[in-house]
């Protein structure tokens, strides 16, 4: 049986009584998706955590979807093939979209190495909220020197296959909304830079 044959056809869209405008007004700010992309070790999760803390202190409703964390639940059935990576990004993108519609500033921190997958998430999210692609830029040498999980060492030894930056490509964003220089700035500096830029985007 093909996947098309297993899809439900007896479904309809139900309009909701509480509008997006009302949800956002209650929060006193817009919902949006801030998508942090970059190679392993670039600092995505560290920056996202610091950004969320600063936004929370400023009264902004947030949620952080970390690439490793979602693979413990939402995407625990997925591996790291091209197809599984695409499905991983699609799922996180759809969850991000729903949460942004609810009025949450969603920080999605994932390697998301393929430009086509990120572009599809952007197109989907922008149907209902703004999408901000943040490129946490760090050279391969910087990422390898950090290597917090020891993954680059394992990839270089051939013990991990399809590892981004070693034997699998990373498509740098062509026109990111914000570029963070993780080679030369601290996490605190990058987070402050992001918050200052973002708060102009989410005000009602």
Q: Which residues are catalytic?
A: 112
- Per the structure block, which two tokens stand in for 174? 């062509």
Strand order in the sheet with 32-37: 62-66, 105-109, 32-37, 130-137, 178-181
User: What gap in Å lies between CA 195 and CA 201, rounded to an integer?
Assistant: 10
Cα–Cα distance measured from residue 49 to residue 141, given in angstroms and rounded to the nearest whole number: 23
- Centre a 10 Å sphere on the Cβ of residue 137 and count the other Cβ atoms it contains: 20
């Amino acid at each position: 049986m093909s996947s098309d044959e297993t899809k439900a056809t007896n479904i309809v869209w139900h309009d909701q009584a509480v509008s997006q405008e009302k949800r956002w007004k209650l929060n006193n700010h817009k919902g949006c998706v801030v998508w942090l992309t970059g190679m392993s070790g670039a600092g995505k999760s560290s920056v996202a955590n610091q950004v969320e803390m600063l936004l929370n202190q400023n009264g902004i409703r947030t949620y952080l979807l970390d690439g490793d964390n979602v693979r413990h639940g939402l995407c625990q059935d997925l591996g790291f093939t091209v197809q599984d990576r695409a499905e991983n990004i699609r799922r996180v993108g759809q969850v991000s979209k729903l949460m942004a519609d609810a009025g949450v500033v969603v920080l999605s921190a994932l390697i998301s190495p393929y430009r086509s997958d990120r572009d599809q998430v952007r197109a989907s999210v922008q149907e209902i909220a703004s999408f901000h692609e943040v490129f946490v830029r760090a050279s391969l040498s910087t990422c390898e020197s950090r290597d917090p999980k020891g993954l680059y060492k394992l990839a270089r030894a051939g013990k991990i296959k399809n590892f981004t930056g070693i034997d699998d490509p990373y498509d740098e964003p062509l026109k990111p909304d914000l570029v963070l220089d993780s080679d030369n700035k601290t996490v605190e500096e990058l987070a402050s830079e992001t918050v200052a830029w973002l708060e102009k985007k989410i005000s009602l």
